Amino acid sequence: MATSCSFLLCFMLCFLHISLSISEILFLPLTHSLSNTHFTSPHHLLKSTSTRSANRFQNHHRRLQNHHHHQVSLPLSPGSDYTLSFTLGSHPPQRVSLYLDTGSDLVWFPCQPFECILCEGKAENTSTSALPPKLSSTARTVHCKSSACSSAHSNLPTSNLCAIANCPLESIETSDCRSFTCPPFYYAYGDGSLIARLYRDSVTLPLATPSLVLHNFTFGCAHTALAEPVGVAGFGRGVLSLPAQLASFSPQLGNQFSYCLVSHSFDSDRVRRPSPLILGRSDEKEKRVNNNDYPQFVYTPMLDNPKHPYFYCVGLDGISIGKRKIPAPPFLKMVDREGSGGLVVDSGTTFTMLPTSLYNSVVTEFDNRVGRIYERAKEIEDNTGLGPCYYYDSVVNVPSLILHFVGNESSIVLPRKNYFYEFLDGGDGVRKKRKVGCMMLMNGGDEAELSGGPGATLGNYQQQGFEVVYDLEKGRVGFARRKCASLWESLNQG
């Protein structure tokens, strides 16, 4: 799911190709990229990411209204998203860097020749090459009778796909359409779109140790896009997502993955520390974690969404501010037959989005405790799109914030830096320099506006400092507090 605050993650390159046993677990070092050239002030960065978060969340609901399976907003704010890298099966190998997105279910990237309309000011592709990759000679188009083609075209019947691809009637009637390629498909996002074709080729996940080659990997190749200069690696629950395709290679690798995001708080000096992305899980890894006295996972069940099956939906029971628990509205605890409700765990959205009723209750309780002591920074709120914000002189005292998920004892206490961002404002000769702190949650809209889609989104900023595991085999999402940089070191010992 598709916006966002600030990380770019890249896999280390290693070209040792080895076969993997079913019990293999792979660790990947994730790195962040936060460039000061992409924003001129904290106001600029926060406004950019809060606007993108809002656009992405709102667009999840436009999808159902438009009856289009793949309308998702992409995370394109500069310096605010995670990327992963892989290489295409060509000689010499071509590296492609894509946004990691647990809210979509397709892997696609720009291909030469590539034209991007209205892409000025957008994040550039982070691959080592300035140009989009070329398809290799081994790439093959996907045919009409493929389930992958049907999935890309919102599950259109194969006969309709054959007609779209200009198959002769006799070929359609005899179901002999395999020689005809899958026609181009349209993909729409919050403020952009693209047209792509499906291909299959060998791709390499350039892991730290070892490198993994996936043969007959299905991806979208886009030659034209509107406001979408960078591709996406969909980690959602669809059949074309990266985990789903990994599962066909090895169920151990594809049926469970997790990431642990090192807290950076928009600090460019801290973003170089590696964050682990873990494909699969093993008893040995669990033993290493447990021996280091790491907290155990808190699990909450995944909720099936009939209209948006690629989402990782969970139930939100309430939010505590200090010792007061604020119950979540009933539609956040479940997903109905129309696809409405639930909370989506999304690596592609930066800030957590809450429905208006819950958001207002949380803000009111937070302000009752903080606003009576500190001055509200209204101008900062207008400039950043966040709030409430406060001026303070020394250390500001803020209440704790706890997320309560549906399930037995499934609550997590957010670290202060995950929901309250502090920075310096002013000092530019116009305004005096002052310390400011802002709550990092956002208003997602009224319940009526959210009909037909998720009721809330858990953004990646609130996921920092946790290992978040997506257990597809058991249908659950887990959270555990971690020192993510230390976790990376412990996972690679031995």
* DSSP-derived 3-state class of residue 326: strand
Contact 454, 343 (CB under 8 A): yes
Q: What tokens were used for 432?
A: 């005096």
Contact 109, 201 (CB under 8 A): no
Q: Which amino acid is at 32?
A: H
CA atoms within 13 A on the CB side of 162: 18
Beta pairing class for 313-314 and 316-321: unpaired
Matching residue, tokens 């002052």: 434
Dist. CA 89–CA 258, nearest whole Å: 26
Contact 211, 89 (CB under 8 A): no
Q: One of 105, 191, 201, 346 is an active-site residue; which one? A: 346
Q: One of 101, 105, 201, 471 is an active-site residue; which one? A: 101
* Number of other CB atoms surrounding residue 371 within 10 Å: 14
Contact 349, 459 (CB under 8 A): yes
Question: Closest by alpha carbon to 279, among 255, 303, 297?
Answer: 255
User: In the 8-state DSSP scheme, what is residue 136?
Assistant: P
Contact 127, 8 (CB under 8 A): no
Q: Does residue 304 have an active-site annotation?
A: no
Q: Does residue 101 have an active-site annotation?
A: yes
Give DSSP secondary structure letters for 87-116: EESSSS-EEEEEEEETT---EEEEEEEEEE
Q: Which residues are catalytically annotated? A: 101, 346
